[in-house]
Amino acid sequence: VRSFVRSYVRTYLCSFVSSFVRYFVRLYVSTIVRSHIHRYVLSLVRSFVRSFVRTDVCRCFRSFICTSVRTYIHSFVRSYVRGFVRSFIRFFVLSFVPTYILAFVRSFVRSFVCSIVRSLVRSFVRTYVLTNIRSFLRSFVLTYVRLFALSYVRSSERTSVRTFTRSFFRAYVRTFVRSLIRTYVLFTYDMRSFDRSFVRPSVWSVVR
């Protein structure tokens, strides 16, 4: 009985224990270990994917978007601004300046400058030129008549009108050119200098 019991217990217990251990180890390994490994691998993969997405993909995507947006916006803005500036300058310079500014300048010159020049010319002609011409003609005629009378009275020999007129005009032109060179003004010389130069003895000899 002892031997039977020992052999039975050994065989049965050993088989039971070995089967139980095997089953337990298989179950544990197959269920628990696999689940733990699966969870660990999944956590590793998730963390790796998250870190990769957060670090590399986001940076690459952000850099790509930033560079593309910057380049596109800069190129678009530059091209648009350049085209707008060029078109505006062309329109302003080629159309606005010749049409409006030249028309304004022409109208201003025609209206304002021409009116001022006309008024100045009229006032100058009326006041200065006419008065000077009148005084000049009066003095010229008076000096001609006076000197002709003096030459007719003082000279012993009677001179003709032609010779007196020739000598008178020669002496008058000389004094006129001298006074014009000295003063650079046309009608501002003094007739007394002409009288004095004309009444000199040398001139009287020419008249005679």
Residue 12 within any structural domain of the chain:
no
Q: pLDDT tens digit string along 21-34?
A: 777 777 777 777 67
- Kindly report whether the global pTM for this prediction surpasses the value 0.85: no
Residue 111 within any structural domain of the chain:
no
Contact 175, 193 (CB under 8 A): yes
b or e along 152-189 (b: 16 or more beta carbons within 10 Å of the residue's beta carbon)?
eeeeeeeeeeeebeebbeebbeebeeebeeeeeeeeeb
Q: State the total domains in the chain.
A: 1
More confident residue, 138 or 183: 138
199 is in which domain, residue-wise? 155-208
The C-alpha atoms of residue 200 and residue 177 are separated, in whole angstroms, by 18
Residue 85 within any structural domain of the chain:
no
Residue 175 within any structural domain of the chain:
yes
Residue 100 within any structural domain of the chain:
no
Take residue 154 and report the two structure tokens written for it.
Answer: 């003082």
Taking phi first (over 0 means left), then psi (-120 to 50 degrees means alpha), and beta for anything else, what does residue 61 get?
A: alpha
Q: pLDDT tens digit string along 21-78?
A: 777 777 777 777 677 777 777 888 888 777 777 777 677 777 777 777 777 777 777 7
Residue 149 within any structural domain of the chain:
no
Residue 197 within any structural domain of the chain:
yes
